[in-house]
Amino acid sequence: MINSNNNSRREFIKKAGLGSVGLAFGMSAKSYASIMGANDRVRMGFVGVNGRGNGMTKNFARQAGCEVMYVCDVDATAMAKTISGVGEISKKKPKGVKDFRTILNDKNLDAVYIATPDHWHAPAAILACQAGKHVYVEKPCSHNPYEGELLVEAARKYNRIVQMGNQRRSWPRIMECMEELKSGAIGKAYLAKGWYTNNRKPIGKGKQIPVPANLDYELWQGPAPRKPYQDNLIHYNWHWFWNWGTGEALNNGTHEIDVMRWGLGVEYPTRVTSVGGRYAYQDDWETPDTQIISMDFPGNIAITWEGRSCNNYPIEGSARGAIFYGDKGTIVTTGDNDYTIYDMNNKVVKKVQDEAKTNTIDPAGPGDKLDAFHINNFLDCVRTGKRPNGDIEIGHKSVLLCQLGNIAQRTGRVLNCDQKNGHILNDKEAMALWRREYEPGWEPKLV
């Protein structure tokens, strides 16, 4: 077994532009800000701060040269919690705002972070780009393929940095893993298999009740067609309703599918199939809890992703991960910032691990240290104008694969796709799911 050399790892990280993360963790944001010029400081607003957004807002606040100006949420309780947490870190409380759209007029605001429910991701990001703000938007970057294409167009038209939260694009060991694949460590890689498992419980049958006093449900729904409030929807179960969510394939599959697309060097598929459904329980859950998506690409290359929301039996001992198969060996990464290379006799050739371990099924994310790599890449790109590791065009292409899987699932058909842009060929019913219906007056558009 060969372990990678620590010096070479450090050199790789420096070359990847990630050295600032160590500085950020070794020095408080307040002390570092005192030696940074005001022009280097990135002033940000945070939109959607319940759960993942709460943790990420505080993580941004810890980073050198980042100022949390605004915290925005339709839930007053969630907003107050995050404002308090940021205040403890930076010793200065940000301003709380219910409707994020009002902060976009602030000329001192440089960028926004978006961790709303999925149906708000692209519309909010597009509004921010139009207002001249850079954007870090959590995955998936869009609720449907049409929105993804529109967001890419907005980023380019308004010349904004837009990064998706596919944070593995900035993890040093995963970046090394991709270099190993490109250098032929397992020969020609032709198949990748990804997976995600959990043990989610039933959500029951929802009852229509009055909207809680702390929640602006009208603004929460935003672009989505209006549905009555029910007691099993907010703050997490919206993931499993098509009106607002995108299912496990985009909620978690996005990460592994992005890594697999990256490692295999593919873009748009030629064919997509999906099997599965809501198998585990009988309740209001609409999206699949069990799903296997298969995709073919030009050059005899394929990807499969298996999602099991309600049965957490692991693969390779892990709740999530990806395996790359080649004609000279295999590479396995199991959700952490690590990878292992095997030869054709299944003997370990190289094993690279990180001391930081993740809870691979924690909805709040993989942990502050690993998230900080992607955060700092975004902040650096806002300052320099460079394209980020998780540039929106990269993110959209990976999210689109998940969306195509869901369209195949919902139509029950094989999708044949245009390898130039992923559009579905000769199937009007399937292509009708390329975009959604919007609440009148809330349609995202470029101006």
pLDDT (tens digit per residue) in 131-174: 999 999 999 999 999 999 999 999 999 999 999 999 999 999 99
Residue percentage of the chain with pLDDT more than 70: 89
Q: What is the pLDDT of residue 259?
A: 98
Assess if residue 379 is contained within a domain.
Answer: no
Assess if residue 118 is contained within a domain.
Answer: yes
Q: What is the pLDDT of residue 354?
A: 84
Do 145 and 196 lie in one domain? The reply is no
Do 93 and 21 lie in one domain? The reply is yes
Q: What is the pLDDT of residue 417?
A: 98
Do 200 and 178 lie in one domain? The reply is yes
Indicate if the pLDDT at residue 15 is higher than 70: no
pLDDT (tens digit per residue) in 207-233: 999 999 999 999 999 999 999 999 999
Final residue before a domain boundary, out of 168, 191, 226: 168
Indicate if the pLDDT at residue 64 is higher than 80: yes
Domain region containing 255: 174-365+392-434
Which residues, other chains included, contact 199 with Cβ-Cβ below 8 Å and sequence gap of 6+? 310, 311, 312
Do 50 and 65 lie in one domain? The reply is yes
Do 118 and 266 lie in one domain? The reply is no
**Using 50, 70 and 90 to split pLDDT, how confident is the model at 367?**
confident
pLDDT (tens digit per residue) in 235-272: 999 999 999 999 999 999 999 999 999 999 999 999 99
Do 313 and 406 lie in one domain? The reply is yes
User: Mean pLDDT, the chain, as a whole number?
Assistant: 92
Do 30 and 115 lie in one domain? The reply is yes
SS3 444: coil
Final residue before a domain boundary, out of 107, 139, 168: 168
Do 302 and 410 lie in one domain? The reply is yes
**Using 50, 70 and 90 to split pLDDT, how confident is the model at 366?**
confident
- Contact by Cβ (8 Å): 377, 163: yes
Do 98 and 190 lie in one domain? The reply is no
Q: What is the pLDDT of residue 362?
A: 66
**Token pair for 49:** 């701060």
This prediction has a pTM of 0.91
Total domains, the chain: 2
Q: What is the pLDDT of residue 359?
A: 67
Domain at 43, CATH number: 3.40.50.720
Q: Could you give the angle at the alpha carbon of 378 between the alpha carbons of 79 and 87, nearest 5°?
A: 30
**Using 50, 70 and 90 to split pLDDT, how confident is the model at 297?**
very high
Of 53, 194, 157, 181, the closest CA to residue 392 belongs to: 157
Do 73 and 111 lie in one domain? The reply is yes
Residue 23: CB atoms within 10 Å: 12
111-114: strand order across its sheet: 95-97, 66-72, 42-47, 111-114, 134-137, 162-164
Residue 21: CB atoms within 10 Å: 23
Assess if residue 385 is contained within a domain.
Answer: no
Indicate if the pLDDT at residue 29 is higher than 50: no
Indicate if the pLDDT at residue 62 is higher than 80: yes
Q: What is the pLDDT of residue 26?
A: 40
Do 180 and 31 lie in one domain? The reply is no
